[in-house]
Amino acid sequence: MNLKSINHPVFMKHINSLSLAVAWLLSAAFLNPTTQAQSLVIDEVVAVVGSKPVLASDVETQYLQYRMQGNIKGSAVETRCAILEGILYNKLLLNQAEIDSITVGEKQVENELDRRIRYFISQIGSREKLEEYYKKSLFEIKEEFRSIIEDQMRVEMTQQSITKDVKITPSEIRKFFREMPQDSIPMVNSEFTIGQIVKKPKVGLAEEIAVKEKLRNLRKRILEGENFSTLAVLYSEDPGSAAKGGEVGLFGRGELYPEYEAIAFKLKDKEVSDIVKTKAGYHIIQLIERRGDFVNTRHILLMPKVSPVEMAKASTELDSIANLIDNGKLTFDEAVQKFSDDPNKINGGLMINPATQNARWEPDQLDPKVFYVVDKLEPGKISRPMQFKTDEDKDAFRILYLKERTKPHRANMADDYDRLQGWALDRKKSEIIKNWMIEKIGSTFIRINPDFKQCRFEQNWIK
């Protein structure tokens, strides 16, 4: 494999942390139920890898999804052949997982399934839209794709077991960079490294007392016979459930706030809880239904409001901190440790990019409001206080510090060592996996339907 193949689909398929064939199938199944229904009509075995069959519908589902997304670049035959090879690779890994007794715990599967569903919900807009589009409840969707997720995780664990001992040395990184053709060295976009100092205004005791008193009165009215759903519509401050009479829906363990979950699973049918405090605010909860390790509840949520006085106080305090930093009386790092309410203060206040797990952000990865502010700053300078919403959807203020801004450039050893290290390690892992594939293909029972024997595979699947 030469250096130009670093962006080749087969190379990427080998090193991807997820099993791409299964990921594509899962995406198609969630977001295109019509396509899935069409593909399930095709139901013959087109290949077998070890003990693992490949159905024609597996190939066709992905092909139709590709076509819908406009990702078909070659002929239909070439595309189906490429899809089949991706599935064959996954089946080879899954077959190896069985040989090596690689298993995944139920809790791991559940957590990954929840994470994936949250992603699809974020893409389609809401849980209700996902259920409506798929014509199934969230519980039914999860049940249908639990085995797919489990297989995908076993594939990933098998990939990791093959490359777990692979290391890369500085000399290998330098060699990798020297051998990269000049016209193949990728461009690196402009990136920002940003710090923040956060102040979360305190909720006053009087506000908390008032909210709890209001909830006590609502609970009393429910116990005296008023309808919980009606009161939730009128008073709950949870925008996602209020319009549905406070109904949250069916959720399993680990999916709700711990304090909420602890009470919900103890309630009896139609029982109304005492006041429960979570990060979201204060709740009263009613059990609608318990189904095994899943509960469906309704709730009324009230959130104590931060007073205008406390908001102004937080902004003023941050303004004073910014002045101390501007005047050189305090470094940004010192101010972070002394004043910030941000949990990331342990990282020196740097904002961590969830896509890369480092502190570098490309412009289109930033919140537009953040980009608008930092784009006007010189490196080493700090902004004035700006209001924002925390991850808990609470009002807060922050000042932003532009630590560094890079210019667009071709990757180089001085500025992009970590990036080059990752690329070199990925290529080395790819070579390890390629050699593993060649060995396993030679020793594993593989049969492919004659309809696909005209395919020009990257590997010698047809013996």
Task: Please report which confidence band the pLDDT of residue 11 belongs to, taking 50, 70 and 90 as the band edges.
Answer: very low
User: Which pLDDT tens digit goes with each residue over 171-226?
Assistant: 999 999 999 998 889 998 999 999 999 999 988 888 999 999 999 999 999 999 99
pLDDT at 174 (0 to 100): 95
What's the mean pLDDT in 24-34?
44
What's the mean pLDDT in 117-138?
79
CA atoms 314, 320, 325, 326: torsion sign: positive
Task: Please report which confidence band the pLDDT of residue 141 belongs to, taking 50, 70 and 90 as the band edges.
Answer: confident
Residue 357 or residue 11, greater confidence: 357
User: Which pLDDT tens digit goes with each residue over 330-340?
Assistant: 999 999 999 99
Please report the domains of the chain, with CATH numbers, ordered by start residue: 3-169+421-452 (1.10.4030.10), 190-201+307-407 (3.10.50.40), 205-302 (3.10.50.40)
pLDDT at 22 (0 to 100): 39
pLDDT at 376 (0 to 100): 94
pLDDT exceeds 50 at position 455:
yes
Q: What is the mean pLDDT of the chain?
A: 85
Residue % of the chain over a pLDDT of 90? 56
User: Which pLDDT tens digit goes with each residue over 338-366?
Assistant: 999 988 788 899 999 887 888 999 999 99
Residue 212 or residue 452, greater confidence: 212
pLDDT at 252 (0 to 100): 80
pLDDT exceeds 50 at position 397:
yes
pLDDT exceeds 60 at position 99:
yes
Residue 156 or residue 116, greater confidence: 156
Task: Please report which confidence band the pLDDT of residue 35 belongs to, taking 50, 70 and 90 as the band edges.
Answer: very low
pLDDT at 178 (0 to 100): 94
Task: Please report which confidence band the pLDDT of residue 240 belongs to, taking 50, 70 and 90 as the band edges.
Answer: confident
pLDDT at 115 (0 to 100): 80
User: Which pLDDT tens digit goes with each residue over 405-425?
Assistant: 999 999 999 988 988 998 999
pLDDT exceeds 80 at position 16:
no
pLDDT at 66 (0 to 100): 80
User: Which pLDDT tens digit goes with each residue over 264-298?
Assistant: 999 999 999 999 999 889 999 999 998 888 889 99
pLDDT exceeds 50 at position 1:
no
